[in-house]
Amino acid sequence: MKAATWTGVNEVSVEDVPEPTLLNDRDVILKISQSVTCGSDLHLIGGYIPFMRAGDVMGHEFIGEVVEVGKEVRDRKVGDRVVVAPFAACGSCWYCKQELYSLCDNGNPNPGITEGLWGQSPGGCFGYSHAMGGCAGSHAEFMRVPYADVGTFVVPEGVSDTRALFASDAASTGWMGADLAGTEPGDVVAVWGAGGVGQMAARAAMLLGAEQVVVIDRVPERLAQVRDNVGAEAVDYTTTDVIAELRERTGGRGPDVCLEAVGMEAHAPGAPGIYDQVKQQLRLQTDRPTAVREAIMACRKGGTVFTLGVFAAMVDKFPLGAAMNKGLTLRGAQVHAQRYIPELLERMRRDELVTEHLATHVMPLTDAPEGYRLFKEKEDGCVRAVFLP
Amino acid sequence: MELPAIVSRAGGALLSTLQHVRLPGVGQASVTDDPTTAAHRWRAVTVLKAPDQVGSSASPPPPLDRLGDRVEVRISAAPGDKGTELAARFLGTPTDDEIGELRAALREAKQRLETGEVLRVDPQPHGFRKPTPQGAALEGMTDQADKEGVL
């Protein structure tokens, strides 16, 4: 079968690879209908997460049809149209029982790598390096999904593939941030990053009752989507002093909730951006935390900052003093998608949550290298590239 | 031994070393132990099952039982309704390979008890593996990954 694979730093190739097989009794095999690029893939492509092996199949946000089921699968059958959580979670460990699915104790067969890096191992993510379990990704014609009863969700009639596709990660990640940050009616919520996750975080905050939602980015097409498709306010940080703007919009308080949806390759203009780039390239820090720093400084006293963007290890010049003295709550997580997908699919069915506009570039899987190039360079208004195997 | 095998073995050794490094922001708790003390520590997983479902010190769950009388096993209720702590330590002075064997056994016992299976990832689809030193080192790491870590 055809699959899009990581073949080296800044190299994605489409190759012929063997078809997957059932490996565990709780597995299903899916025929992938759509699989989409995610901003976190760019960290793999850029070589910032050095646990990819040449030939690894990428992709973790996808929808497909069940074509084969393991003998212990109870709730899925051949022919089901399902959207799938990016993290393989067993559903049986203490973390899964707390609905912290991306922390599953049993979903990562390579715990020794991440325990060394982080002290404990999170769960395993499809197509996201051997540090995160090494399970093959979804940019392929077929894919094996373990723990299928826990991680796959039947898509309701009337919800299109392209809409449901984003329940997998972008919408569930955004919703998780707004929810776990404690967004309440009347809150002011600021979101850094107007990609798929940032837009969905903004929409989630609105649906949870936020009074004002402001999204910060620099890409005109994305800021336009924030205004036109999400219904939130948009701020261009290249032409606006973000912290001053947020202070002015909030009566001097700052946002109640700050959601960071940028991650470890944040762009920053001027000297601060150069400083972070140099330190990252010299391996004196692994991640560029520009947006997190700004969120901490902007957040109101006693507010919450939630990091949705992916970070790998260490950052420099982290304003811990501001976080402590302002009494902030800092949180972050990989997506606990299993917790949110059922509700998101229902909201999609009711047209409360619309995502099709994120799929700016829909193309055959064989065009995946070009899709990633457009996505990485943000060319031609690319917000997400969707691959059709 | 051919060069790729040497590099692969070096990757596994690197992963082992990573568990024992303390740099600002990187490292783990037992690093200040001398090797003998570290080797004799209890190593434990918490299983979301009642203690009687996990087993007993005299009859530990598989595959931990294969370590026989080389290890002492302790099974006790975890606080806060978190299940059962399944712990083991060597009676003699173990080698690094034996400690790795114990880590893997504890993890596998937990998985079997909680999920009824051991998650597999191989074989699975992949494209052409370029024979690079970095790739060989990573393969060495993944070969050792169930036997390493802070456990």
Model confidence at B148, pLDDT cuts 50, 70, 90, reads: confident
Q: How many whole angstroms from its chain centre is CA A138?
A: 15
Which residues from A are below 8 Å from B15, CB to CB?
Answer: 112-113, 116
Whether residue B30 has pLDDT greater than 60:
no
From A146, A77, A153, A78, select the one nearest B116 (Cα to Cα): A146
Cβ–Cβ gap A17/B126 under 8 Å: yes
Tens-place pLDDT, residues A248-295: 999 999 999 999 999 888 888 888 888 888 888 887 888 888 999 999
**Beta strands A385-388; A212-217: pairing state:** unpaired
Cβ–Cβ gap A21/B110 under 8 Å: no
- pLDDT of A232 reads 98
Tens-place pLDDT, residues B67-118: 999 999 999 999 999 999 999 999 988 998 999 999 999 999 999 999 999 9
Read off the pLDDT of each residue in A176-195 and give the average, rounded to a whole number: 98
Please indicate, yes or no, whether residues A218 and A263 belong to a single structural domain of this protein. yes
Tell me the DSSP string of A215-278: EEES-HHHHHHIIIII--EEEETTTS-HHHHHHHHTTTS--SEEEE---TB----HHHHHHHHH
Read off the pLDDT of each residue in A217-230 and give the average, rounded to a whole number: 97
Please indicate, yes or no, whether residues A75 and A165 belong to a single structural domain of this protein. yes
Cβ–Cβ gap B126/A25 under 8 Å: no
Amino acid at A293: R
CATH of the domain at A370: 3.90.180.10
In sequence order, which residues have a C-beta less than 8 Å from that of residue A71 and are 6 or more positions away?
A25
In sequence order, which residues have a C-beta less than 8 Å from that of residue A326 and are 6 or more positions away?
A296, A299, A300, A301, A302, A303
Q: d(Cα B138, Cα B143) in Å, to the nearest integer?
A: 9
Q: d(Cα A367, Cα A338) in Å, to the nearest integer?
A: 30
- pLDDT of B147 reads 85
Tell me if A152 sits within 8 A of A175, measured CB to CB: no
Whether residue B29 has pLDDT greater than 70:
no
Q: Hey, which residues does A317 pair with through a beta bridge?
A: none
Whether residue B64 has pLDDT greater than 50:
yes
How far, in Å, are A217, A230, A355 from residue A225 at the CA level? 11, 7, 11
Q: d(Cα A261, Cα A216) in Å, to the nearest integer?
A: 10
Cβ–Cβ gap A112/B139 under 8 Å: no
Q: Hey, which residues does A145 pair with through a beta bridge?
A: A28
In sequence order, which residues have a C-beta less than 8 Å from that of residue B101 and are 6 or more positions away?
B67, B147
Tell me the DSSP string of A61-113: -EEEEEEEE-TT--S--TT-EEEE-SEE--S-SHHHHTT-GGG-TTS-S-HHH
Read off the pLDDT of each residue in A138-154 and give the average, rounded to a whole number: 98
In sequence order, which residues have a C-beta less than 8 Å from that of residue A118 and are 6 or more positions away?
none
Residue A49 tokens read as 């997460």
Whether residue B25 has pLDDT greater than 60:
no
Read off the pLDDT of each residue in A336-357 and give the average, rounded to a whole number: 97
Q: At what angle are helices A111-118 and B3-18 packed, to 10 degrees? A: 40
Of residues A134 and B18, the one with the higher pLDDT is A134
How far does B30 lie from chain A, in Å, by closest CA?
A: 11
Whether residue A382 has pLDDT greater than 90:
yes
Please indicate, yes or no, whether residues A280 and A327 belong to a single structural domain of this protein. yes
- pLDDT of B31 reads 62
Which one-letter DSSP state was computed for residue B32?
G
Indicate the range of A278-287, A340-349, B45-54 predicted with least confidence.
A278-287
Read off the pLDDT of each residue in A33-49 and give the average, rounded to a whole number: 93
Which residues from A are below 8 Å from B141, CB to CB?
Answer: 51, 110, 112-113, 130
Chain B residue with minimum CA distance to A116: B19
Read off the pLDDT of each residue in A3-25 and give the average, rounded to a whole number: 96
Model confidence at B27, pLDDT cuts 50, 70, 90, reads: very low
Please indicate, yes or no, whether residues A102 and A183 belong to a single structural domain of this protein. no
Chain A residue with minimum CA distance to B134: A53
**Domain count across chain A:** 2
Q: d(Cα A338, Cα A35) in Å, to the nearest integer?
A: 18
Cβ–Cβ gap B128/A105 under 8 Å: no
In sequence order, which residues have a C-beta less than 8 Å from that of residue A279 and are 6 or more positions away?
A285, A316
CATH of the domain at A204: 3.40.50.720
- pLDDT of B23 reads 52
- pLDDT of B96 reads 87
Cβ–Cβ gap B142/A110 under 8 Å: yes
Of residues A388 and B145, the one with the higher pLDDT is A388
Q: Which residues of A63-85 are buried (b: 16+ CB within 10 A; e: fewer)?
A: bbebebbbeebeebeeebbbbbb
Which residues from B are below 8 Å from A25, CB to CB?
Answer: 117
Model confidence at B22, pLDDT cuts 50, 70, 90, reads: low
Please indicate, yes or no, whether residues A296 and A381 belong to a single structural domain of this protein. no
- pLDDT of A163 reads 98
Model confidence at B135, pLDDT cuts 50, 70, 90, reads: confident
Chain A residue with minimum CA distance to B45: A105
From A189, A202, A324, select the one nearest A257 (Cα to Cα): A189
Cβ–Cβ gap A17/B127 under 8 Å: yes
Q: Domain of A230?
A: 173-332
Cβ–Cβ gap B48/A93 under 8 Å: yes
Mutation target among B124, B130, B143, B150 for the A interface, most CBs of A within 10 A: B124
Q: Mean pLDDT of all residues in chain A?
A: 95
Please indicate, yes or no, whether residues A127 and A201 belong to a single structural domain of this protein. no
Tell me if A41 sits within 8 A of A372, measured CB to CB: yes
From A71, A74, A70, A40, select the one nearest A58 (Cα to Cα): A40
Read off the pLDDT of each residue in A158-185 and give the average, rounded to a whole number: 98
Chain B residue with minimum CA distance to A51: B138
Model confidence at A316, pLDDT cuts 50, 70, 90, reads: confident
Which one-letter DSSP state was computed for residue A124?
E
User: How many Cα atoms sit within 13 Å of A11 on the Cβ side?
Assistant: 13
Tell me if A313 sits within 8 A of A286, measured CB to CB: yes
Tens-place pLDDT, residues A190-210: 999 999 999 999 999 999 999
- pLDDT of B98 reads 92
Model confidence at B5, pLDDT cuts 50, 70, 90, reads: confident
Read off the pLDDT of each residue in A59-67 and give the average, rounded to a whole number: 98
Please indicate, yes or no, whether residues A15 and A150 belong to a single structural domain of this protein. yes
Q: d(Cα A220, Cα A244) in Å, to the nearest integer?
A: 21
Nearest CB to A121; choose among B48, B82, B149 = B149
Read off the pLDDT of each residue in A136-158 and give the average, rounded to a whole number: 98
Domain boundary among A332, A351, A372: A332
User: How many Cα atoms sit within 13 Å of B142 on the Cβ side?
Assistant: 22
Whether residue A296 has pLDDT greater than 90:
yes
Report domain extents, chain B: 3-119+135-144
Cβ–Cβ gap A134/B142 under 8 Å: yes
Model confidence at B139, pLDDT cuts 50, 70, 90, reads: confident
Model confidence at B4, pLDDT cuts 50, 70, 90, reads: low
Please indicate, yes or no, whether residues A183 and A160 belong to a single structural domain of this protein. no
pLDDT exceeding 70 applies to what percent of chain A? Answer: 100
Terminus-to-terminus CA distance in chain B, angstroms? 31
Cβ–Cβ gap A116/B119 under 8 Å: no
Please indicate, yes or no, whether residues A153 and A177 belong to a single structural domain of this protein. no
Please indicate, yes or no, whether residues A42 and A80 belong to a single structural domain of this protein. yes
Whether residue B138 has pLDDT greater than 90:
no
